[in-house]
Structure 1
Amino acid sequence: METGMMEQITPLIVITGPTASGKTSLAIKLAKKFGGEIICADSRTVYRDMDIGTAKPTLMERQGVAHWGLDLVEPGQLFSAADFKEYATKEIAEIRDRGNIPFLVGGTGLYIDGIIFNFSFANRSDGRYRQQLEGMSIEDLHKYCVNNNMSLPENKYNKRYVIRAIERGTQNVVKNASIQENTIVVGIATERDELTNRVTQRTEQLLINNVVDEATYLGNKYGWRSEAMTGNVYPIINQYIRGKIDYSTMVQQMIASDRQLAKRQMTWLRRNPHIMWCDLYSAEHYLSQILARLVNP
């Protein structure tokens, strides 16, 4: 790294966007070229063993670029946005100390916001909060989960299970009005048809990579009711394994699930006025110019 790079506080480069938008491959390309390290901001890839179904970057893809935020806990363990903030803040500081550029990359909006707005988290498990939840209908509880980027439990029509999931995932958040200094946030904007094609291609690749075998292994090891197994494609594959749906239906439901996830992610991310939205090509050009000036001032 050039000495000029060390004379200023290295900015945090944030690349976000919906699932299958191409943000991970872009971040890897830029990190390799400009001396960066990547922190994955994804609420599913924090789990060990869940590699294929979460579209975790492969060992080959990670080659040449240090990746952080992967395989932090087992699927049965809880890992909150507050946990991620504590972890990622420490990693960002250490990456800067090594003279490298920190990249925060992912589509979990609460993880991203917790860092760039410097959230202060406090648990909300008091009795009054539970009474409020118990007074809501199951439909309103579902809407609450969607609006707050929370995963529904497998038994999503059991009110007690849904309330427990909300209590686990809810924090009382205090945030700053503006993002932290030395932070550049880019969102990957993708046309609907293109995103559908990318989601379809990724689903096909998951199946080629034997995601059904992975799901079977995870279900047997951790149980299908494990919180980590209630999201992503795993519940759909469970239905296929149990003979409730056929293969074709499973594939279509997996595609639809990822499209719905992308929609929820965009609903969350669009609330942030500090994100600069652009397509993959424009994002690469824009960030390359910024990073080139940092490395060679």
Structure 2
Amino acid sequence: MATRTVNEAPLVVIVGPTASGKTGLAIKVAQRFRGEIISADSRAIYRGLDIGTAKPSMKERDGVAHWGFDLVNPGERFTAADFKHYADAKITDIRLRGKVPILVGGTGLYVDSVVYDYTFTAVSNDLELRAKFEKKSLAELQNYCNKYNIKLPENNKNRRYVINAIIRKGALPQKNTDKYKDKILVGIMTDKATLKERIRNRAKTIVNDATINEAIQAARTWGWDNEAMTGNIYPLVRKHVAGELTRSELEEKFCTLDWRLAKRQLTWLRRNSEIAWCDLEHAYSYIAQRLADR
């Protein structure tokens, strides 16, 4: 790749649904073009939750620097605004060291907050008010929004997102002038059958004794009802430990949850007309050509 000044270093953005192969693609690009990866995954920010959140192992990272993992303990608040601040600083740092920043993830709000330089309205730090809504079920929170005409967030199945929407009274983050004009924005396009197969294969890898032990240990430290433990595979492991689900039932339900997640992610991402959608093979060729031409 041609020598570039710090300010000219492009921002590569790779998005797509869960299990679409984003991480492997990002590592391949990073190895060829001296890149470093910033994970935009709201599951991966928590310490102690590694296997169940599908963080790549050190071996899988294959010598490529990864950022965005293990930022907070379960139970600590970490918002999209916090992620934006973190990612902006990392992008600057990576560029200053003459490398290419690669933002990768399926959490749409995290990605958009960086790419489009969102300004977030202040979320109340009134812990008493927040605690009031934390006691309500998801259905009660959704009904509250309907009653008071509060716009639900895109991911209206996430209690934390719904609570934040209530506290902000439905105000959405504001999109500013495009901060990262020099960017390559690619989405991984996968047909339905292939994506379902990838989700099922990954479930077979994740649902094992190590994941179950990880969940049990995390629950001992932070509790099963911790926000970080109420999503993804962990509620299913809780039911398995309680004897309510067999191992095969856990795996099957996990596949269903991940498929629903993938559909929500795609709904968010498809709104963005700037994304160039490619299959994995052509996504690499597209990114490599764009970087080589600069």
Is residue 49–residue 71 contact of structure 1 (8 Å, CA) maintained in 2? yes
> What is the aligned partner in structure 1 of residue 40 from structure 2?
41
Q: 2:90 maps to which residue? A: 91
Residue equivalent to 1:158: none
In 2, Cα distance between equivalents of 1:220 and 1:210: 15
What's the % identity of the aligned pairs? 44
Matched, 1:188 2:194: no
| Distance (whole Å) between structure 1 residues aligned to residue 34 and residue 167 of structure 2 | 37
Equivalent in 152, 156, 169 of residue 158 of structure 2? 152
Task: Decide whether the 8 Å contact of 1:46 with 1:70 is kept in 2.
Answer: yes
Q: In structure 1, what is the equivalent of residue 204 of structure 2? A: 204
Preserved contact between residue 109 and residue 269 of structure 1 (Cα < 8 Å): yes
1:180 deviates by 3.3
Structure 2 unaligned residues grouped into runs of 5+: 134-138
Shift of 1:244: 1.6
Q: Distance in 2 between matches of 1:243 and 1:12?
A: 47
Match for residue 157 of structure 1? none
Give 1:18's aligned residue: 17
Equivalent residue, structure 1, for 2:106: 107
Question: What is residue 235 of structure 1 aligned with on the other side?
Answer: 235
Q: Deviations over 1:169-209 (max 9, x none)?
A: 97641103757300111000110000000000101011246
- Which digits, 9 at most, give the CA deviation of each residue in 1:206-246, with x for residues without a partner? 12462111111111111011111111111111111111222
Amino acid at match of 2:90: E
Matches within 5 A, 1:1-297: 2=2, 4-6=3-5, 9-125=8-124, 137=143, 147-149=153-155, 152-153=158-159, 164=163, 166-167=165-166, 172-176=172-176, 180-208=180-208, 210-294=210-294
Structure 1 residue 247: Cα displacement: 2.0
Aligned mates of 1:270, 1:71 — CA distance in 2: 29
Distance 1:177 1:209, change over 3 A: farther
The answer (yes or no) to whether the contact 1:147–1:268 under 8 Å persists in 2 is: no
Distance 1:199 1:74 in 2: 27
Amino acid at match of 2:227: E
CA distance in 2, matches of 1:68, 1:276: 24
Report the alpha carbon displacement of residue 90 of structure 1 after superposing the two structures with TM.
Answer: 0.5
C-alpha displacement of 1:103: 0.1
TM (normalized to structure 1)?
Answer: 0.85
Distance 1:250 1:222 in 2: 22
Count of matched residue pairs: 280
- Aligned equivalent of 2:136: none
| TM-score (normalised: structure 2) | 0.86
Match of 1:156 in 2: none
2-structure distance, mates of 1:274, 1:167: 30
Change (3 A) 1:55 1:168: farther
Task: Map Cα deviations across residues 143-163 of structure 1 (whole Å, 9 max, x no partner).
Answer: x9985226535xxxxxxx996
Does structure 2 retain, via aligned residues, the 8 Å contact 1:41–1:112? yes
Q: Note the aligned Cα RMSD (angstroms).
A: 2.8
Listed as ranges, the gaps of 5+ residues in structure 1 are 154-160
Bigger mean CA deviation after superposition, 102-111 or 216-225: 216-225
Question: Contact conserved, 1:30 with 1:288, CA < 8 A, in 2?
Answer: yes
